[in-house]
Structure 1
């Protein structure tokens, strides 16, 4: 879902997955961080996705936040200025 509010564009993306404790969410934005020891080995990713999203958003004057979803996964909100100039 996306919408424009007060000169900013808001994009909300939800995914499914394991339940994520609220205290772990901010750590997911650290490069190479992956939730849980069982995910340290394998081919499911390097743990860079959310750190890249946050870096790109901040480079354009925006923000990224995430909250755990009931039953697992995250709801991620990206807010960017319509005209970052």
Structure 2
């Protein structure tokens, strides 16, 4: 299950950007999110409905910036692992 904790604005000034995303294999796969009909897909470069992963933050293990080509907006997303089959995430407003 994938649960949204809410939205919070995250400043980008503290980012140490990696040259590419390196998303944990424990996050990749197909997930069910309550309230959505379609399944959520997460892989090394893509998070459905959120877009393409641009950067990962080095000092915070599970924080990434995603770019949605349809809306032309970026979001900061923090993954919070809860269990092998339960994942939460927080997302910023569009940056």
User: Structure 2 length normalisation: TM-score?
Assistant: 0.33
Higher normalized strand content (fraction of residues): 2
Normalized per residue, the structure richer in helix is 1
**More RCO (CA 8 Å, sep 6+):** 1
